[in-house]
Amino acid sequence: MTPAPFDRSENLEQQLTDHIEEIKARWELGLQHSGHDGVWIAAGDSAHYFQDDQGPRFKPNPYFTQWVDPKFATPGAQLLLRDNHQPILFLHQPSDYWHATTPIPQNLNPQVDIRTFSNEDKLAAACADETSGKLAFIGNSPNSNETLGELNPTKLLQYMHFHRARKTQHELENLRKASEIGVQGHLAAAAAFTAGASEYETHIAYLLASKQSEAELPYPNIVAQNEHGSVLHYQLQQRDPANELRSLLIDAGGSFAGYASDITRTYVSAGSQHQLFRDLLEAMQTHQDQLLNSIAPGTTYADLHTQMHQQLCALLVSADLVTCTAEEAFDTGVSEIFCPHGLGHLLGIQVHDVGGHQADELGNVALPPANYPALRLTRKVEENYTFTIEPGLYFIQSLLESHQHAPINWKLVAKLSPYGGIRIEDNVRVLAHGIENMTRDAWRKYDPT
């Protein structure tokens, strides 16, 4: 597939300036829509595990991340936005010998008025002085200053969720860099698999190459060898190498400035004894290519998902995995036994980004088809949307066992089941004509062969 051209400005400072202006204008329109005079966007508070003084890594509210890179975010930080006013960022920056001081996001000057406070009480008092007008508060219910504004008003959030799907140039650049981080990890994981590494060793190779800690990953890595590939969100990592290494399904991403990539690849061991699965993997790559070529503004993602199942039915017939026609397989839902998940989802600040089922900014919903309840994205595709395309084919024993009378070639399924399954996932941006495939662009950069 020939990659589509796209604009990639190297003026990152201008990209950020344009991004802040666009996001500010988007919020102002949202406030007019909801009838509020301003909005507090909270970074959020840190949390501890039950009866413990430790807790998970602090992760800011995604709407705060849209303004402020997470490396500058501190628990309790707030951003205040009023119509036709300079946004104000309130940051807690303690003089603390227990932790390194969080730096100030100087790249937001002069668009954002940044105010820092040495302790939480001073920060809370400063925020309490800015409560005039009808304000909204976006985030978890605050531990203090509970009167800052109306908590998460539905009308405002529906508006913002819907428009978050369209990415600014700054956001697109962050997503590209997240893809590059993820691809470097994937290349190392593939090499580890070829060398006979265990699931855990493959995971460690991924972390080292992508230069991410466990806490920095956008989601926990799925590193599934052999039959483990049939578990869609396989969460275990075997320490010992498999006695016979047949296949690897790795679903792992990168994070940059709070934006995520979500990439999956499937590999098969060398040797003629694995040719059946290798042929199936090649067919699945062609299957994904056809779906990528079908993406265009104006189509609906639900239609792409239906196309995925129609193509999968044809693939199942050509691979001799079913004993009926492709039309019969589709009409009776046989392909859903082999692929029970959706084709993909919106991608951005969150791996499964919000608004996937929204039909419009008013909050009207486009529900998934009844037979595809797991589909996370149903809305119409528009330019500068970013989402995943991740068709799969799995040999899931619980599903197969509950469909014993389905027209399935059980002998062939038995031969292929020890390989688990296949998923191939790319992250794409919709263009006026064609797509920008951020995953494959990154792959060409780091593995031009």
CA–CA dist 176, 392 (Å, integer): 24
- In the prediction, which pLDDT does 448 show? 83
Express each pLDDT in 96-106 by its tens digit: 888 888 899 99
Q: Please determine, for residue 14, whether its predicted confidence score (pLDDT) is greater than 80.
A: yes
Range of weakest confidence among 124-133, 203-212, 250-259, 412-421: 124-133
Q: In the predicted model, what is the mean pLDDT of residues 50-66?
A: 94
* Range(s) of the domain holding residue 124: 37-152
- Check whether residue 230 and residue 350 sit in a common domain: yes
- Interhelix angle 199-210/169-194, nearest 10 degrees: 140
The position carrying tokens 């796209």 is 6
Do 143 and 218 fall within a single domain?
no
User: Does some domain include residue 191?
Assistant: yes
- Dihedral, 321, 327, 331, 337 alpha carbons, nearest 10: 20
In a domain, 10, yes or no: no
Q: Do 207 and 343 lie in a common domain?
A: yes
Same domain as 203, residue 65 = no
Residues 287 and 404 in one domain: yes
What CA–CA distance (Å, rounded) separates 375 from 386?
16
Read off the amino acid at residue 164: R
pLDDT tens across 106-141, in order?
A: 999 899 999 999 888 898 889 888 888 999 999 987
User: Rounded CA gap, 348 and 296, in Å?
Assistant: 19
Residues 7 and 15: their CA atoms lie apart, in Å, by: 12
End-to-end CA separation in angstroms for the chain:
15
Average of pLDDT values for 202-216?
97
Residues 148 and 189 in one domain: no
* pLDDT for residue 1: 37
Mapping DSSP to helix (H, G, I), strand (E, B) and coil, where does residue 357 land?
Answer: coil
Q: What CATH number is given to the structural domain containing 54?
A: 3.40.350.10
Distance of CA 275 to the CA centre of its chain: 32
Cα separation of 186 and 182, whole Å?
Answer: 6
Extract the tokens encoding 186.
């994937």
- Tell me which of 109, 126, 152 is where a domain ends: 152
Q: Are residues 126 and 182 in the same domain?
A: no
Question: Over the stretch 154-205, which tens digit does the pLDDT of each residue have?
Answer: 999 999 999 999 999 999 999 999 999 999 999 999 999 999 999 999 999 9
Residue 9 has pLDDT above 60, yes or no: no
Residue 203's H or E segment, with its range, is helix 199-210
Which CATH number fits the domain that encloses residue 299?
3.90.230.10
428 touches 347 (CB < 8 A): no
Q: Domain check: are 293 and 370 in the same one?
A: yes
List CB contacts of 5: < 8 A, sequence separation 6 or more.
none
pLDDT band with cut points at 50, 70 and 90 for residue 148 = confident
> pTM here?
0.95
Given a cut of 60, whether residue 145 has pLDDT beyond it is no
| Residue 5 confidence (pLDDT) | 42
Most trustworthy range by pLDDT among 121-125, 313-317, 363-367? 313-317
Q: 293 and 388 share a domain?
A: yes
Residues 220 and 94 both lie in one domain:
no
Q: Would you state the pLDDT for residue 142? A: 61
- Between 47 and 179, the higher pLDDT residue: 179
> Averaged over 392-397, what is the pLDDT?
98
| Position 415 in a domain | yes
**Residues 183 and 311 both lie in one domain:** yes
Both 287 and 429 in one domain: the answer is yes
Q: Render pLDDT for 348-362 as a digit per residue (tens, 0 to 9).
A: 999 999 999 999 999
Residue 4 has pLDDT above 60, yes or no: no
**Both tokens of residue 327?**
């039309």
What residues form DSSP beta bridges with 358?
Answer: 365
Q: What pLDDT does 124 receive?
A: 87
Alpha-carbon dihedral sign for residues 11, 17, 22, 26: positive
| pLDDT at residue number 184 | 98
**Mean per-residue pLDDT, 15-30:** 96
> Which range has the worst mean pLDDT, 140-149, 194-203, 209-218, 298-307?
140-149
pLDDT at position 350 is 96
Give yes or no for residue 2 having a pLDDT over 60: no
Helix (H, G, I), strand (E, B) or coil at 82: strand
Phi, psi of 146 (to 5 degrees): -70, -10
Q: How confident is the model at residue 3 (pLDDT cuts 50, 70, 90)?
A: very low
Q: Using the predicted structure, report yes or no on whether residue 143 has a pLDDT greater than 80.
A: no
Mean pLDDT score, 263-280: 97
CA angle 315, 318, 324 (to 5 degrees): 90
Per the domain annotation, does 199 fall within a domain? yes
Q: What is the pLDDT of residue 8?
A: 53
The mean of the pLDDT values for the chain is: 94
Residues 6+ apart with CB under 8 A from 36: 133, 134, 135, 136, 149, 150, 153, 156
Does a cis peptide bond (omega within 30 degrees of 0) precede residue 153? no
Please state, in angstroms and rounded to a whole number, the distance separating the CA atoms of residues 356 and 381. Answer: 11
Helix/strand/coil for 24: helix
255 beta partners? 260
Domain count along the chain: 2
- Residue 146, pLDDT > 60, answer no
Q: What is the pLDDT of residue 137?
A: 95
